[in-house]
Amino acid sequence: MRAELRDKRDALLAKIGTRPLVMGILNVTPDSFSDGGRFQTADEAVAHATRMVVDGCDIVDIGGESTRPGATPASEVDELARVVPIVERLAQVVDVPLSIDTYKANVARTALERGAVLVNDVWGLQGDAAMADAVAEAEAVIVIMHNRAQTDAAIDIVTDILRFFNRSLALAERAGIPRQRIILDPGVGFAKTSSQNRDAVACIAQLKDYGLPILVGVSRKRFLGSMTDGAEGSLVGTIAANLTAAAAGAAIFRVHDVAEHVAAFKVFHTIRTRVAKQP
């Protein structure tokens, strides 16, 4: 990893836990569930990312393949064509660290060469056998997210999350990824029922037992509607869920609405810090 990228990586790692961190979502896809097709040109994508940085995001997460249920998988060639030009340009114009949202090792490797410092892997090192080595060789940060091939309402989702993380962490250790560069994500909205999504948020305190930072991605997710009379995807529901996760110990929040979350977390962190100082 180049020296300037290593500095960004290390500054990010040092910041985790000092306050809630906001990861701004930049989907350069035609079919993502919330903002697909909005930022397909390089100029549109760079402008949106720049706005998110001005609004206060700590990380820009760039994705070139939709992971919503029923989405058409993107080929590696298409995904590279979508994300690489954006990573290259953003690395030159924004100061915050860049994340590549992919489960393909070659896409991750290329993005890390061009300016990303973090890989956000929705298959937690288990989707591509080469991913763990790619992350280790690049000295990158890795977000290990829980996922399943299909939803199963009969299972205990928390037990499944723990088993998945144990497998992924073993892969990371085997590849030589230091634990201080690992972040866990319970995978809200991925192959889970609405009830299981609520359990995934509720188990954050338990996940803290791993001694690793927790990232949550509840932004505009459909399960929020089951608690708000159908107002799925609402900003209010998203902020409420994220504040609940923050109170439980989550450290990083992947969101579409950066400015609103930055403001909400400032209030949360200021009051929580004051409460912690009370005798």
The residues, ordered by sequence, that sit 6+ positions from 80 with a Cβ below 8 Å of its Cβ are 64, 106, 107, 110
Bridge partners of residue 184, in order along the sequence: 144, 214
Bridge partners of residue 144, in order along the sequence: 121, 184
Q: In 16-55, where does DSSP find H-type helix? A: 42-55
The residues, ordered by sequence, that sit 6+ positions from 29 with a Cβ below 8 Å of its Cβ are 36, 37, 40, 63, 64, 65, 66, 74, 82
pLDDT tens for each residue of 57-106: 999 999 999 876 666 788 999 999 999 999 999 999 999 999 999 999 99
- Three-state SS for 8? helix
Task: Give me the pLDDT at residue 29, please.
Answer: 83
Candidates 6, 167, 254, 266; catalytic one = 254
Bridge partners of residue 61, in order along the sequence: 25, 99
Residue 254 annotated in active site? yes
Half-sphere exposure of 119 (CA within 13 A, CB side): 35
Domain boundaries, the chain: 3-276
Domain 3-276 in CATH: superfamily? Dihydropteroate synthase-like (3.20.20.20)
pLDDT tens for each residue of 187-232: 999 999 999 999 999 999 999 999 999 999 999 888 887 776 655 5
Candidates 82, 221, 222, 277; catalytic one = 221
Task: Give me the pLDDT at residue 228, please.
Answer: 67
pTM equals 0.93
pLDDT tens for each residue of 111-125: 999 999 999 999 999
Residue 9 annotated in active site? no
pLDDT tens for each residue of 257-278: 999 999 999 999 999 999 888 8
Neighbours of 62 (CB within 10 A): 27
